[in-house]
């Protein structure tokens, strides 16, 4: 999974969500500052891992792995499943999730050695395809030019709309800075897989849509 310098047991923070300063800078300073956001993240993380039961013979590395897996199951995997369910139901598309079978999840969760997980997945892949298919190549980064252009167009419309609900909760100047510099001013931790220039824009657009769809009234 990820090394201890990314998610240490003493860090009390979520893995894959490291660039906290970027997230806090997006928020209107009249609402919250970086310390408040960090305290919220740490408290939420502690609320999640407090329910973990450890085995008597587990060392610190085993406990670290178990905490990491538990967070993935409770937050990231459950979120992915919810998204897939919503998408499939809205498009009348049946989707199979064989690797999310609860027996596989339970088995992986209780494996003490992280390296064994990768070996297990390779064995499953080879058993299913029996060398009929080539081993997948590493996925390379795709340049989503049209996608990014669309995001930039949408976020500009929102920022120029005086009636935008999003403007009440974000730091407009900071978002404009990100937009004008196309994200080159962002100090993104390379291990943070949940944030990038296009992800920030998409995230803000989704919030604006959500506020409007559900007619949320904000009083700041």
Looking at the structure, do residues 124 and 176 belong to the same domain, yes or no?
A: no
The pLDDT of residue 171? 94
Looking at the structure, do residues 38 and 101 belong to the same domain, yes or no?
A: yes
> What one-character-per-residue DSSP string does 18-55 give?
--HHHHHHHB-TTT--HHHHHHHHHHHHHHHHTT----
Q: Which two tokens stand for residue 105?
A: 């999840």
The pLDDT of residue 5? 32
Looking at the structure, do residues 176 and 103 belong to the same domain, yes or no?
A: no
Looking at the structure, do residues 167 and 194 belong to the same domain, yes or no?
A: yes
Tokens 């929102």 correspond to what residue?
158
Q: Is residue 11 part of a domain?
A: no
Looking at the structure, do residues 124 and 155 belong to the same domain, yes or no?
A: no
Q: How many domains does the chain have?
A: 2
The residues that bridge with 27 in the sheet, in sequence order, are: 170
Looking at the structure, do residues 39 and 104 belong to the same domain, yes or no?
A: yes
Cβ atoms of 29 and 173 within 8 Å: the answer is no
Cβ atoms of 16 and 76 within 8 Å: the answer is yes
Looking at the structure, do residues 34 and 119 belong to the same domain, yes or no?
A: yes
Looking at the structure, do residues 66 and 121 belong to the same domain, yes or no?
A: yes
Q: Is residue 14 part of a domain?
A: no
CA distances 172 to 27, 72, 154, 182, 213, Å, are 9, 32, 14, 15, 22
Cβ atoms of 199 and 19 within 8 Å: the answer is no
Point out the domain boundary residue: 94, 129, 164: 129
Point out the domain boundary residue: 105, 129, 153: 129
Cβ atoms of 169 and 27 within 8 Å: the answer is yes
DSSP state, residue 76: I
Contacts of 197 (CB under 8 A, 6+ apart): 148, 178, 182, 183, 186
Looking at the structure, do residues 58 and 97 belong to the same domain, yes or no?
A: yes
Q: What is the pLDDT of residues 143-162, one digit of tens each?
A: 568 889 999 999 999 999 99
Q: What is the pLDDT of residues 171-208, one digit of tens each?
A: 999 999 999 999 888 766 555 556 788 889 999 999 99
Point out the domain boundary residue: 68, 97, 129: 129
The range of the structural domain enclosing residue 79 comes to 20-129
Q: Is residue 118 part of a domain?
A: yes
Q: How many Cβ atoms sit within 10 Å of the Cβ of residue 69?
A: 20
CA distances 131 to 117, 128, 134, 158, 164, Å, are 20, 9, 7, 51, 54
Looking at the structure, do residues 102 and 168 belong to the same domain, yes or no?
A: no
pLDDT-based confidence at 76, cuts 50/70/90?
confident
């Amino acid at each position: 999974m990820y090394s201890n310098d990314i998610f240490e047991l003493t860090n009390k923070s979520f893995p894959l969500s490291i660039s906290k300063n970027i997230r806090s800078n997006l928020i209107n300073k009249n609402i919250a500052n970086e310390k408040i956001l960090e305290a919220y993240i740490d408290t939420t993380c502690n609320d999640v891992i407090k329910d973990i039961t450890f085995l008597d013979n587990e060392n610190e590395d085993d406990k670290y792995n178990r905490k990491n897996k538990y967070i993935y199951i409770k937050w990231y995997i459950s979120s992915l499943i919810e998204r897939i369910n919503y998408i499939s139901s809205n498009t009348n598309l049946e989707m199979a999730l064989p690797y999310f079978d609860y027996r596989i999840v339970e088995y992986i969760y209780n494996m003490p050695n992280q390296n064994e997980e990768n070996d297990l997945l390779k064995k499953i892949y080879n058993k299913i395809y029996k060398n009929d298919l080539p081993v997948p190549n590493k996925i390379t980064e795709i340049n989503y030019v049209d996608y990014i252009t669309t995001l930039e167009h949408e976020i500009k419309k929102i920022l120029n709309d005086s009636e935008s609900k999003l403007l009440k909760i974000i730091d407009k100047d900071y978002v404009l800075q990100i937009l004008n510099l196309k994200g080159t001013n962002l100090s993104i931790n390379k291990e943070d897989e949940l944030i990038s220039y296009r992800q920030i824009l998409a995230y803000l657009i989704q919030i604006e849509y959500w506020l409007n769809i559900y007619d949320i009234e904000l009083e700041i």
